[in-house]
Structure 1
Amino acid sequence: MITLDNVHKTFGTNAVLRGVNLSVAKGESLVIIGGSGTGKSITIKSVLGLVTPEHGTITVDGKNISNGDRDAFLARFGMLFQGGALFDSLPIWQNVAFRLLRGSLKRPKDEAREIAIEKLRRVGLKPDVADRFPAELSGGMQKRVGLARAIAAEPEIIFFDEPTTGLDPIMSGVINELIREIVVEMGATAMTITHDMTSVRAIADSVAMLHDGVIQWHGPVSEMDTADDPYLQQFIHGRAEGPIDAVR
């Protein structure tokens, strides 16, 4: 579904991506791991077309992302942002139905509200949440609202950016289970960025480690713990000693 072929991206003198090669099969849940500042977010932004690589090609479902109708292209994606990124001035149902109230996916207001309430139910929130505002919800509830918004338009591809950041271990487990259930239920292709190894084990079919601008290791999550790559082993076990410089 998604292929990156020798993708390079530089900001000034900082070469963030130095030849990323990666493929994600249709219906697969891929988790990208790696230290802060290694280019994980830039990789996702490159797929979305939010940043333009200087070199390499990116295809989605066999089509180059630089070609075709931009609105139709973006309509295929859903996104759960790291900080929730909810609109404080909008009630919850309008946050969830944001894409359904405008643009190429626009639906009648009553229909959009019904879809929003159904998606809120899917992530474990009651209908009375619909008319509340983000500030009235806990961090875990806000994360669920963000997940409901990500799936509201039934996307083929969903990106999750640090989905459990700021949550306690129990709520993190709930969000991980919801993500896994929803991705499987929808048959969606998923790409997740996370530092949380518990999330990796709960969400991933496959894992890619990004280090020094390239994919250091890529394989099934079931092979991650026994892989002989020293960079991967240092990262997943949180060791200070190893080939990755802990002071950067």
Structure 2
Amino acid sequence: MIELKDVHKAFGSKHVLRGINLTIESGTSMVIIGGSGTGKSVALKCILGLIKPDSGMISLDGKDVTKGDRDAFLARFGMLFQGGALFDSLPVWQNVAFRLLRGSLKRPVAEAREIAIEKLRRVGLKPDVADLFPSELSGGMQKRVGLARAIAAEPEIIFFDEPTTGLDPIMAGVINELIREIVTEMGATAMTITHDMTSVRAIADNIAMLHDGVIKWTGPVSRIDNSGDPYLDQFIHGRAEGPIEAVR
């Protein structure tokens, strides 16, 4: 469904992406791993068109993502942001229904609220949460609200940016299970950026290891412990020694 061919991106003299090649098949869950500053978020932003690559091609269903109807393109995506990115001034249900209250997907207010409450139920939150504000929720509840918003418009493709950051191990496990269940139920194509190897094993079908601006290894999650790749092996086991130099 999504393909990156020889994608390059630099910011001044800093070359972040140095020729990424990656294919994400429809209906699968791809997890991109790699150290901080290796270009994971830049790659995601390039796919969404938030950043324009310097060269290379990114396609969705075989079509160049930079061409065609921009609103129709973005309507196919849902996004769970690393920091939640909830609007403090809006009650929870309006956060969840944000896309349904405006733009090409606009629904009547009553219908949008009903959908929001149903999506909150799907992520394990009761209807009485709908009228609370984000500041009244715990970190885990805020992450669930973000997930409910990501799936509110029934997107074909969902991006997850560090979905378990800031959560305790139990809540992280809950979020991982929800992500896996929802992606499977919806038949959605998923792309996740994470450092959390527990999340990787819980939600990935396939993994791509990004280092120094290129994909060093890609393959099914079942092969990561015996990949034979020194970069992947060092990363998943958290070893200080190896081809990846630790910043000291």
Q: Deviations over 1:93-146 (max 9, x none)?
A: 000000000000000000000000000000000000000000000000000000
* Partner residue, 2:225: 225
Alpha-carbon separation, structure 2, partners of 1:48 and 1:198: 26
Cα RMSD after superposing both structures: 0.5
Alpha-carbon separation, structure 2, partners of 1:215 and 1:146: 29
Alpha-carbon separation, structure 1, partners of 2:76 and 2:22: 20
Q: TM-score, normalised by structure 2?
A: 0.99
Alpha-carbon separation, structure 2, partners of 1:93 and 1:61: 32
* Partner residue, 1:199: 199
Secondary structure class of the residue paired with 1:56: strand
Alpha-carbon separation, structure 2, partners of 1:63 and 1:97: 29
State the AA in 2 paired with 1:213.
Answer: G
* Partner residue, 1:67: 67
Alpha-carbon separation, structure 2, partners of 1:113 and 1:62: 35
* Partner residue, 1:4: 4
Alpha-carbon separation, structure 1, partners of 2:2 and 2:63: 9
Alpha-carbon separation, structure 1, partners of 2:80 and 2:139: 14
Q: Deviations over 1:38-73 (max 9, x none)?
A: 000000000000000010000011111011000000
* Partner residue, 2:147: 147
* Partner residue, 1:129: 129
- Deviation, structure 1 residue 234: 0.4
State the AA in 2 paired with 1:192.
Answer: T
State the AA in 2 paired with 1:152.
Answer: A
Residue 180 of structure 1 pairs with residue 183 of structure 2: no
Alpha-carbon separation, structure 2, partners of 1:236 and 1:169: 18
* Partner residue, 1:13: 13
Alpha-carbon separation, structure 1, partners of 2:217 and 2:141: 34
Secondary structure class of the residue paired with 2:226: coil
Structure 1 unaligned regions, length at least 5? none
* Partner residue, 2:171: 171
State the AA in 2 paired with 1:112.
Answer: A
Structure 2 unaligned regions, length at least 5? none
State the AA in 2 paired with 1:26.
Answer: S
* Partner residue, 1:161: 161
Q: Deviations over 1:187-209 (max 9, x none)?
A: 00000000000000000000000
- Deviation, structure 1 residue 247: 1.7
Secondary structure class of the residue paired with 1:6: strand
* Partner residue, 1:105: 105
* Partner residue, 2:25: 25
State the AA in 2 paired with 1:222.
Answer: S
Q: What does 1:20-59 correspond to in 2, within 5 Å?
A: 20-59=20-59
Matched residues, number:
248
Alpha-carbon separation, structure 2, partners of 1:21 and 1:242: 24
- Deviation, structure 1 residue 34: 0.1
* Partner residue, 1:114: 114
State the AA in 2 paired with 1:70.
Answer: R
* Partner residue, 2:95: 95
Structure 1: 4+ residue segments shifted above 3 A = none
Percent sequence identity is 81
Q: Deviations over 1:217-243 (max 9, x none)?
A: 000000011011011000000000111
